Amino acid sequence: MREIVLDTETTGFDAEKDDRIVEIGAIELLNHLPTGRTFHEYIDPERSMPKEAFDVHGLGDDFLRGKPKFAQIAEKFIDFIGQDSRLVIHNASFDMKFLNAELRRAGHTALPFSRALDTVGLAREKFPGSPASLDALCRRFGIDNSNRTLHGALLDSELLAEVYLELIGGRQPDLVLDRPAQAPEPGQISDGRMDARQPRPVPLPSRLTQAETAAHAEFVARLGDAAIWTRFQ
């Protein structure tokens, strides 16, 4: 299963008016594990950067001037996220509104909200009443976020990927021990996995002493014929 962990940074909070995306960061997960493929772009918002947004993101007009406009990176972004990969986003409604506003301006089809998995909702469901911010979840799971002095889309995506894996059950949620489709000979390795269900060549000896065996038999005898131990002898 392919998933994209994604974050955006913006000039403000109103996607339908004049606020725009200034940065997109995303990383690819395959079966819940990072593949190393990333997407990262700074974007010219075609408007000035408000001071309050600069204070949060550290991205000013001089830095963003000359960066590509969203329409210029839209195709590359669409290719990276694919047609049906799940989009893992913290506070998904915010990012999805901005992404769809930008996609529509650039003449592309909007993304269905059903593709997004909101990790805020996932965290609140798992830890009701507890803080669900990215920083709070990093602290809960012992994830180092000391480099997050400013909000940055790619760094936040990397942190969110770690948080997401913890929220769904740890770093190896898809560990399976199923027999391969074509079972190997006993002791052989197939696809990097040992077939652990082969019988032992020599059964392990019992660690019960004779006295323990006798005491158990006496105890069962006192229970009578209804004892569960006597039903399967």
Inter-CA distances, 92 with 13, 78, 161, 168, Å: 13, 17, 14, 17
Q: Which amino acid is at 224?
A: G
Cα separation, 16 vs 180, in Å, equals 51
Q: Please provide the average confidence, as pLDDT, over all residues in the chain.
A: 84
What pTM does this model have?
A: 0.72
pLDDT at 183: 44
Q: Residues 193-221: what's their mean pLDDT?
A: 67
Element (H, E) at 1: none
Q: Is the pLDDT of residue 224 over 70?
A: yes
Highest mean pLDDT among 81-95, 184-198, 208-222: 81-95
Q: Which domains does the chain have, with CATH numbers?
A: 2-167 (3.30.420.10)
Are 125 and 167 within 8 A, CB to CB? no
DSSP string across 19-31 = --EEEEEEEEEET
Tokens of 110: 């909007």
In this predicted model, what pLDDT tens digit does every residue of 150-159 receive, in sequence order?
678 999 999 9
pLDDT at 197: 46
Confidence of residue 101 (pLDDT cuts 50, 70, 90): very high
pLDDT at 42: 96
Lowest mean pLDDT among 26-30, 35-39, 85-89, 169-173: 169-173
Q: E strands along 116-183, which residues? A: 116-118
Give the residue, 57 or 167, on which the prediction is more confident: 167
Q: Residues 155-176: what's their mean pLDDT?
A: 80
Q: Tell me how crowded residue 205 is: count the other CB atoms within 10 A of its CB.
A: 6
**Measured distance between the N- and C-terminal CA atoms of the chain, rounded to whole angstroms:** 47
CB under 8 A, 24+ apart: contacts of 172-181 = 173/32, 174/31, 174/32, 174/33
Q: Tell me how crowded residue 91 is: count the other CB atoms within 10 A of its CB.
A: 15
Q: Residues 135-164: what's their mean pLDDT?
A: 90
pLDDT at 175: 41
In this predicted model, what pLDDT tens digit does every residue of 60-95 receive, in sequence order?
999 999 999 999 999 999 999 999 999 999 999 999
Give the residue, 224 or 43, on which the prediction is more confident: 43
Confidence of residue 196 (pLDDT cuts 50, 70, 90): very low
- Which residue is catalytic, options 32, 40, 90, 151? 151
- The question of whether 216 is a catalytic residue gets the answer no
